[in-house]
Amino acid sequence: MGAVTAVDRHPKQDRSRATRQRLLEAAVACLAEHGWAGSTVTVVAERAGVSRGAAQHHFRTREDLFTAAVEYVAEQRSAALRALFPDGAAARPAVVAALVDLYTGPLFRAALHLWVAAGDEEQLRPRVTELEARIGRETHRAAVDLLGADESRPGVRETVQGLLDMARGLGLANLLTDDTPRRDRVVAQWTVLLDEALG
């Protein structure tokens, strides 16, 4: 009921927000499927069913649209991860599996395309560098909380970082072929090692 009232009260703002979200989600899907070279504002607007003018009202440049899109979807993923474990620290195998999952879906593919493109494009590079650092910090914080890791103990911070590096490498291995069976075995083994290391 509350939500309905809010819609009635601010229909215009709500429509604008819904359009923005459609654009962001279409941008990530487009980046994941076609890479940076195949991702333009026009293509995304078409996919989102929004006019090009409306898209440019929300995002002035291509760089604005795609960095905002990766950030938005990363925030959604991060919120979903936290929602999976509402009581905070949880069973390690489930937490590790959920962390690794962050790097195997369309968001990772999209972020990877943006990342690789940023290596070559001067106007994209500083923004993506900053964005990746922010997403990295947030993911690390979530991992520490959910693993119940005590970072005041020596080596614990680096153990968690290494786990996230491994997850990123596993995401890369899943890019061209379905690497699920191998990944599951690697993750099961490293969960044992991680468990011993974190105590």
Binding-site ranges for a second copy (CB under 8 A): 33-35, 37-38, 109, 112-113, 115-120, 125, 128-129, 132, 155, 158-159, 161-162, 164-173, 175-177, 182, 185-190, 192-194, 196-197
Min dist CB 87 to a second copy, Å, is 28
Min dist CB 53 to a second copy, Å, is 28
Nearer to a second copy by Cβ, of 50 and 81: the residue is 81
Nearer to a second copy by Cβ, of 41 and 118: the residue is 118
Nearer to a second copy by Cβ, of 8 and 196: the residue is 196
Nearer to a second copy by Cβ, of 58 and 127: the residue is 127
Nearer to a second copy by Cβ, of 123 and 189: the residue is 189
SS3 174: coil
Which among 157, 187, 160 is positioned nearest to 173, based on CA atoms?
Answer: 187
How far is 29 from 14, CA to CA, in rounded Å? 23
Compute CA 60 distance to the chain's CA centroid, rounded to the nearest angstrom: 23
How far is 175 from 146, CA to CA, in rounded Å? 27
How far is 150 from 168, CA to CA, in rounded Å? 23
Min dist CB 146 to a second copy, Å, is 19
Question: Which residues contact residue 41 at a Cβ distance below 8 angstroms, ignoring those fewer than 6 apart?
Answer: 52, 55, 56, 59, 62, 65
3-class secondary structure for 137-186? HHHHHHHHHHHCCCCCCCCHHHHHHHHHHHHHHHHHHCCCCCCHHHHHHH
Nearer to a second copy by Cβ, of 87 and 178: the residue is 178
Min dist CB 64 to a second copy, Å, is 19
Min dist CB 50 to a second copy, Å, is 24
Min dist CB 4 to a second copy, Å, is 42
Compute CA 198 distance to the chain's CA centroid, rounded to the nearest angstrom: 25
SS3 106: helix
